[in-house]
Amino acid sequence: MSQIDQVHSISPAVAGSRIFKFVAFLYGIAAYLVFFVTILYAIGFVMGLVVPKTIDTGTATPPVEAVIVNLLLMSLFAIQHSVMARQSFKAWWTQFVPKPVERSTYVLLASLSLLLLFWQWRPMPAVIWEVQDPDLAVTLVTLSFAGWVLVFISTYMINHFELFGLHQVTNHLIGKEAAPARFKTPLLYNFVRHPIYLGFIIAFWAAPVMTAGHLLFAAVTTLYIFVGIALEERDLIDLFGDDYRQYKQRVSMLIPWRRSV
């Protein structure tokens, strides 16, 4: 048993009890449902579809205030999302949060920070560009949808349910030990190392009408994606060593068939 396992705030007897396992399972499902609602709202928020508040709607505020508030909201998500994903934070965090629900807790807090962003986002409606050609506008909307589809497809290729915590709480419920992490590159991961991030970039930038607020959101999230990739790949090299170094040399980061960078 590792030192981290020994200092869990919940004793092994409690963590292994049937009641705790069932509660942890329900918690994991609830966290996943919150995530699922959040990602669906995100699609409508960015694309200006269906949802009550989009990236370009809401109470008008002075431009400087809008920029400051929006940057703070995006920074809150970026810090929470990046810090909690680091192995050093997990080693500390799992002293207080049982390992089976650690991923679900991460997913839940990330979802809540995104919901806060949607709620408090300040619109910046000044139009930067607007595509007048209807066929090109439809093409861009279709491309944005394709970006979201790429995000979802890519998560399923690397175990969607493990990525969002359901796999962990299910294994805990049935008493199944988690399998050791294996390095694998299914389908799309043979063309780009980060198809999920590529999908987000496409979804955020393929807009027939680009307002100042949308541009700020797309630019900051794209910058965050590159920072996130650097942090994530450092962790992956620590975990998989030469296997990931060779993969990094062989496969491009985001652009298919481009020489690896």
Q: What are the sequence ranges of the domains in the chain? A: 12-250
Give the pLDDT of residue 259: 66
Phi, psi at 129, each rounded to 5°: -145, 155
Contact predicate 244/233, CB 8 Å: yes
pLDDT in tens, 47-75: 999 999 999 999 889 999 999 999 999 99
Long-range contacts of 50-53 (CB under 8 A, 24+ apart): 51/118, 53/118, 53/119, 53/121
Give the pLDDT of residue 10: 53
Facing residues of 210 across strands? Answer: 129
Among 112, 84, 121, smallest CA distance to 217 is for: 121
Residues of the chain with pLDDT under 70: 1-16, 259-261
Give the pLDDT of residue 13: 47
pTM: 0.89
Give the pLDDT of residue 9: 47
Q: How far apart are CA 69 and CA 47, in angstroms?
A: 21
